[in-house]
A and B are shown apart, each in its own frame.
Chain A
Amino acid sequence: MAIIEVNAVHKAYAGRTAVDGVTFAVDEGEIFGILGPNGAGKTTTVECVEGLRIPDAGTVRVAGLDPVADHDRVTRLLGAQLQESELQAKLTVREALELYSAFHPDPADWRSLAERLGLHTRLTTRFAKLSGGQKQRLSIALALIGNPRAVVLDELTTGLDPRARRDTWQLIEEVRDSGVTVLLVTHFMEEAQRLCDRIAVIDKGRVVALDTPSGLIRKAGSSTVISFTPSQPLAPDDLAALPAAASVEQKGGRIVINGTDETVNAVISLLARHRITAHQLRVSEATLDDAFLDLTETRTEAADTEQAA
Chain B
Amino acid sequence: MTTPLASNPPAPTAPSSASAPSLAVLTCEARLFLREPGSLFWILVFPTVLLTILGLVPSYREADDGLGGRRVIDLYVPVAVLLAMIMSGLQAMPPVLAGYRERGILRRMSTTPVRPSALLTAQIALHGAAALGSAVLALAVGRIAFDVRLPGQPAGYLLALLLATASVLALGAMVSALSRTTKVSAAVSSVVYLVMMFTAGVWLPVQAMPEVLRRIVECTPFGAASQALDRAASGGWPGWMHLGVMALWTVLPAAAAGRWFKWE
Q: A residues near B, CB below 8 A? A: 1, 50-52, 63-66, 72-73, 75-80, 82, 84-88, 90-91, 95, 98-100, 102-106, 142, 146, 149
Residues 1-30 of B, flagged 1 when their CB comes within 8 A of A and 0 if not, give 111111010110110010011001100100
Question: B residues within 8 A CB of A63?
Answer: 3, 5
Q: Is B248 an interface residue (CB 8 A)?
A: no
- In the bound assembly, the distance between CA atoms of A76 and B10 in angstroms comes to 7
Q: Nearest Cβ distance between residue A58 and chain B, in whole angstroms?
A: 16
Main DSSP-derived SS at the A contact region: loop
A105-B114 contact in complex given A85-B104, A91-B28, A142-B108, C-beta closer than 8 Å: no
- Pick the 3 closest A-B CB pairs, nearest first: A85-B104, A64-B3, A102-B24
- Asked if residues B32 and A149 are in contact (CB atoms below 8 Å), the reply is no
- Known contacts A63-B3, A64-B3, then 15 further A-B pairs from the complex at CB < 8 Å, ordered by chain A residue: A64-B4, A64-B5, A66-B1, A82-B107, A85-B104, A88-B32, A90-B32, A90-B36, A91-B28, A95-B28, A102-B20, A103-B21, A105-B11, A105-B14, A106-B11
- Asked if residues B105 and A104 are in contact (CB atoms below 8 Å), the reply is no
Cβ-neighbour of B105 out of A86, A102, A106, A149 (below 8 A): A86
- Asked if residues A50 and B111 are in contact (CB atoms below 8 Å), the reply is yes
A-B contact pairs, 29 of them (CB 8 A): A51-B111, A52-B110, A52-B111, A63-B3, A64-B5, A73-B10, A75-B112, A75-B113, A76-B11, A78-B111, A79-B111, A80-B108, A80-B111, A82-B108, A82-B111, A85-B103, A85-B108, A86-B103, A86-B105, A86-B108, A87-B108, A88-B100, A88-B105, A95-B28, A95-B31, A99-B24, A103-B114, A104-B113, A105-B14
- Asked if residues B113 and A76 are in contact (CB atoms below 8 Å), the reply is yes
Q: Nearest Cβ distance between residue B109 and chain A, in whole angstroms?
A: 8
Give the number of residue pairs across the A-B interface with Cβ within 8 Å. Answer: 84
Q: B residues near A, CB below 8 A? A: 1-6, 8, 10-11, 13-14, 17, 20-21, 24-25, 28, 31-32, 35-36, 100, 103-105, 107-108, 110-114
- Asked if residues B1 and A103 are in contact (CB atoms below 8 Å), the reply is no
- In the bound assembly, the distance between CA atoms of A79 and B112 in angstroms comes to 8
Q: Nearest Cβ distance between residue A236 and chain B, in whole angstroms?
A: 60
Question: B residues within 8 A CB of A78?
Answer: 111
Q: Nearest Cβ distance between residue B3 and chain A, in whole angstroms?
A: 4
- In the bound assembly, the distance between CA atoms of A75 and B2 in angstroms comes to 18
**Which A residue sits closest to B31, measured CB to CB?**
A95
Question: B residues within 8 A CB of A86?
Answer: 103-105, 108
Cβ-neighbour of A103 out of B5, B14, B107, B112 (below 8 A): B112
- In the bound assembly, the distance between CA atoms of A251 and B211 in angstroms comes to 98
Question: B residues within 8 A CB of A102?
Answer: 20-21, 24
- Asked if residues A99 and B13 are in contact (CB atoms below 8 Å), the reply is no
- Asked if residues A77 and B110 are in contact (CB atoms below 8 Å), the reply is no
- Asked if residues B11 and A82 are in contact (CB atoms below 8 Å), the reply is no
User: Which of B4, B10, B17, B35 lies at the interface centre, i.e. has the most chain A CB atoms within 10 A of its CB?
Assistant: B10
- In the bound assembly, the distance between CA atoms of A106 and B103 in angstroms comes to 28
Question: B residues within 8 A CB of A77?
Answer: 10
- In the bound assembly, the distance between CA atoms of A75 and B14 in angstroms comes to 15
Question: B residues within 8 A CB of A64?
Answer: 1-5
